[in-house]
Amino acid sequence: MQHKPDREHLSRRGAHPRRGAFLAGLLALVLSALPGLSGLSAEVTPGDLPGLVLWLDAGDAATLTLADDTGRIQSWRDKSPSAHQAAAVDGLGAPRYLGAAEGAVRFDGTSAMLLNDSTDLDFQGADEFTLLAVVRARRNGSILARTAGAAMQYRFHIPGERTLRVVLGQGGRQADTTSVVGPDGYSLLAVRNARHEDACRFTLRVDGRDERSSPAGSGRVPVRTALGGRDEGRAQRLDGDLAELLLYRRALSTDDLAALEAHLRTKHASRLVPATAAAPAAAPAATPTATPTATAPAAAAATPPTPGPGLEPAPEGTFTIAVIPDTQRYFGPGSGRADQSGEPRNPAFISRTQWLADNLEAQRIVFVTHVGDVVDRNNREQWAVAQAAMDRLHGRVPYGLAVGNHDLIGRSGDSALFQETFGAARFAGMPWYGGCYAGRPGQPTAVSGNNANSFQLITADGIDMVFVHLECNPPDDVLAWADSVLTAQQHRLAVVTTHMYLGGLERFGAGEPQGRMLWKKVHGARGNTPQQLWEKCFSRHPNLFLVLCGDQSASIAHRQASRGLDGNLVHEILQDYPRGSDDSDWIRLLRLDPAAGRLRVITFSPAQNRVCTGLAHLKDPGHHQFDLDIGEALAAYRSRQRGP
């Protein structure tokens, strides 16, 4: 049985958009000519502006058809002249109407809707358009998308960092805002794709501020358009609330966009996050200015965060392993950002390694491990910045780096630029450097060789340890090498760092079941999934007690413990913290206390000078600061040391 929310239909002001726009303009002209009223202008509503092809308004309850009295939505009627309709996706949960008081539709990370196919929605990066949305993101997911697997026509998406991300075209022309969307309130988002000379550029705005501008890619995908998900709603489903969405098949003028944003800010004033004074929408220019600039910090916050209380020194009798999560926040030439001015740089990377270098003694740091995605674009500009960052540690403390998918050329497994920067020659003569995999016989070392897979040996407070760093989705030949290292070093406590390991089991997303992933990104048919890494290699070594990884920015942090084939307890820990601002420089400090048989995990930001007490969807401090029992591993280690 279908249910209609108890609310009368709103009057259809948008039935004649061109006439409405003319009358609004005429009224504005008359008002400006009247004495004392020159500062006033007529309000513009969505239907007053031509080109409107999609208008979903949860505040108009009459546009929603409910499947039952729980609020599950069967369909959502478009108020634009195109009269589209969004319908729940078969086999997926339906989004839920939150009631007249809230005036929003909740997508819970498992639901999505499909829009009836139309040429109005079949646009690409080469076409002008304007999209606006009032949304609150509790976690992540796609707002509106037309995709099929890797084939991309357009996607308006909120990634794990809860920024706004826009991807246009097969080339994946992508840009992110610096401001965070939700979860404490709704944000007003706007994307305008406007032609300049012979190409289009899209501009991202959050709460009335221009944040990013980027060239638009092109490409069409023969699929339907999904609301609240991608790949016809079956992947990257939105976990958030949508109050209103508008789509125009033209680039609104500067004045029209500003007026429409003002209308939406007034209409949704009670729900929008308080914002700093909104900047006027910038007209397209030959060289658009984007934030962040070379001299301004990238964070969009009105005031910098207050420094925290810092971190106490590590106690006597403990030692620390430092973990650097993915460091993909680059600026300047080679960054792919709209504004590439200044020198190539990565402030958050430098902040991490400088703090570690300055606190080696105070924190008793004996080893530093990088989980991979050292760079974002895999070019020499970014590798030079990465080298400068790690140079702060070089020669002062042992360290190793895992190769992430962003550190490779495409999906081939070719890590030539990583090897050029962090190849085996860099570590020659270091007493703690154990060696690396030489690569497949008869094949170029660019794939898997020359330190793309490496191991390091240290002794800390009488504890002998081996660290093995494995590339993303290592193939069987690499695992055979790792087996040989772990077996040869079986008398040592073993730690493995590999890039892709924990996250959404079957797909990317914080709303997905979490664990060792069943999918992969690189090395094609030769590559192993994280679950295969466990089954083929990790579970077979009784000295292994810790696996570290990154890669999954939607999940941010996750941990689990598993028993190896010999009954040894293995702690598996994910860390891929948000990179939305220069002070998002979170590191993990793993403080081992051999006498107590404990490992304390501390998540700390050098720039903010505080520990993490909760962020994004992981509000509980226990996701970021916790203790692990490693008593069994230490007892087994001591037993092996004593011998039979």
* pLDDT per residue as tens digits for the range 499-516: 999 999 998 888 888 999
Residue in this structure with the two tokens 């895992």, named with its chain if needed: 402
**108 or 423, higher pLDDT:** 423
Check residues 184 and 374 and name the one with the higher pLDDT.
Answer: 374
pTM of the model: 0.59
Q: What is the rounded distance in angstroms from the CA atom of residue 619 to the CA atom of residue 616?
A: 7
Instruction: Name the pLDDT band for 353 (thresholds 50, 70, 90).
Output: very high
Averaged pLDDT, 553-579: 96
How far is residue 575's CA from residue 641's CA, in Å, rounded to a whole number? 32
Which residues have C-beta within 8 Å of that of residue 633, sequence separation ≥ 6? 493, 545, 568, 569
pLDDT for 426-459, tens place per residue?
999 999 999 999 999 988 999 999 999 999 999 9
CB 501 within 8 A of CB 517: yes
Residue 51's pLDDT is: 93
Tens of pLDDT, residues 359-408: 999 999 999 999 999 999 999 999 999 999 999 999 999 999 999 999 99
> Is the pLDDT score of 348 beyond 80?
yes
Secondary structure (H, E, C), 590-618: EEEECCCCEEEEEEEECCCCEECCCECCE
Per-residue confidence band for 13, with pLDDT thresholds at 50, 70 and 90: very low
Q: Out of 111-115, 292-296, 534-538, pick the least confident.
A: 292-296
Q: Is the pLDDT of residue 593 over 90?
A: yes
The pLDDT value given to residue 12:
33
Residue found by looking up tokens 């930001």 in the block: 605
pLDDT digits (tens, 9 = 90+) for 51-105: 999 999 999 999 999 988 888 999 999 999 999 999 988 777 889 999 888 899 9
Q: Is the model's pLDDT at 352 over the cut of 90?
A: yes
The second-level CATH assignment, the architecture, of 319-642 is 4-Layer Sandwich (3.60)
Q: Over 70: is that where the pLDDT of 3 sits?
A: no
Q: What is the pLDDT of residue 448?
A: 97
pLDDT, position 5: 47
pLDDT of residue 277 exceeding 50, the answer is no
Region 121-148: mean pLDDT is 85
Q: Write the pLDDT tens digit of every residue in 79-93.
A: 999 999 999 887 778
pLDDT at 211: 73
- Token output for 457: 């040996």
* pLDDT tens for each residue of 138-168: 777 889 888 877 677 788 888 766 677 777 7
Distance from C-alpha of 410 to C-alpha of 406, rounded to nearest angstrom? 8
> Which amino acid is residue 432, in one-letter code?
W
Where in the chain are the domains? 42-267, 319-642
Residue with token string 């430098």: 350
* Confidence band of 292 (pLDDT split at 50, 70, 90): very low
Q: What's the rounded mean pLDDT across residues 247-265?
A: 91
What's the rounded Cα separation, in Å, for the pair 363 and 15? 67
Nearest-5° Cα angle at 151, 328 to 285: 60
What's the Cα-to-Cα distance from 550 to each of 10, 327, 337, 406, rounded to whole Å? 49, 10, 23, 12
pLDDT of residue 307: 44
Amino acid (one-letter) located at 120: D
pLDDT at 318 over 50: yes
Architecture of domain 42-267: Sandwich (2.60)
